[in-house]
Amino acid sequence: MTIDRNPSLTEQVMAHLKDRIRRGGFPEGRIPPETELAADLGVSRTTVRDALSRLEHEGVVVRRQGSGTYVNRPVLQVKSRLEEIWSYEQMLLDHGYTPSVRVLTVEPGTATDDDAEALEIAPGAELLVIEKLFIEDDRPAVLTRNRIPACLVDGTPSATQGRAPIYEFLEDRCGRRLAYYLSDIVPVALEGRVAEALDAPPGTPALCFEETGYDTAGSPIVKASSWFRDDLVRFRLMRRKSGG
C-alpha cells in the first residue's frame, strides 16, 4: 500500500471523520476512542489528536475529558463560518445559492485620510477601485468596494480581470498573497447608491464590513467595504470561552 502524504495524514483523518459524520456513521453521536481510531487508521495517536483538535476548533466535535468525543449536532446549522469567509461567491454557494458576479466599476481613485492610514500610504495617493455586486437569482445580495494602492498594481486591469475573487487578483496582478483581514462589523441603514445597487428601500438596516487585508508579511494591501442584504445573507457564529 502506498502512503500518500499530500494532503497530510492529519487532513486525511479530518476528511475521513467528517465524511463518516455526514453519513451518520457514528450512532449515538459518539466517536471511538483516540487509541482505537489510531489503530484502525494506522496512524499515531498524536495524528488522530491533531485532527480531532482541529475538528473541535471548527465546532464539528466536542471532547469531554474522561468521557469521550462526540459529534456536535447544533453546529451542523452553521452554513459558513464568519472567521473563514474568503470569497463571497463561495459564501453564497455555501448558503445554497447559485450566485453570479457583476463588475460595476474598475477605475482609478484617490485615497481619503482613512484609506491612507489603513493602507499606510500618503493621503491623496492613487488607488485602484473595484466595485462588484454578487447576485442570487436576480436579487442583489452583496456589494463590495475594494481599494488597492495603485503602486501595487501591475498595469491597468480590464473589467474582466476585476471579476476574479480579490485574493486572486492581488496574487496575479500585484504579486502579493492575501493572508488575512481585520474586519469591523458595522450596522448601517442603507442609503443612496448602495441602497440602489442592493435594490433595497433607503433606511433598510444592514451589515457592513469595513476591513483591511494584509499580506503574509503583515503589510496592508487592500481596504474593502462590503454591504449585505440581511434577508439574503445571515451571519452565524460559534462563540466559546477559549481556544483549544
Using CB under 8 A, list all residues that contact a copy of itself. Answer: 54, 57-59, 62, 64, 70, 72-75, 77-78, 82-86, 179-189, 203, 205-207, 211-212, 214, 216, 218, 220, 230, 234-243
Q: Which range in 5-13, 154-162, 200-208, 228-236 contacts DNA by CB under 7 A? A: 5-13
Cα 186 versus chain centre, distance: 17
Cα 138 to Cα 134, 141, 187, 194, 197: the distances in Å are: 10, 9, 25, 16, 12
Pairing of strands 99-110, 139-149: unpaired
Q: Residues with Cβ < 8 Å from 102, sequence gap 6 or more?
A: 132, 133, 135
CA distance linking residue 70 with residue 50, whole number of Å = 16
Closer residue to a copy of itself, CB minimum distance, 22 or 73: 73
Closer residue to a copy of itself, CB minimum distance, 20 or 57: 57
Per-residue contact flags (x/-) with DNA for residues 25 to 44, judged by CB under 7 A: ------xxxxxx-----xxx
Asked if 195 and 212 touch (Cβ cutoff 8 Å), the reply is: no
In the block, cell 455555501 appears at: 94
Closer residue to DNA, CB minimum distance, 201 or 244: 244
215 in contact with DNA (CB under 7 A): no
Binding site for DNA (CB under 7 A): 5, 8-10, 31-36, 42-47, 49-50, 52, 63-69, 244
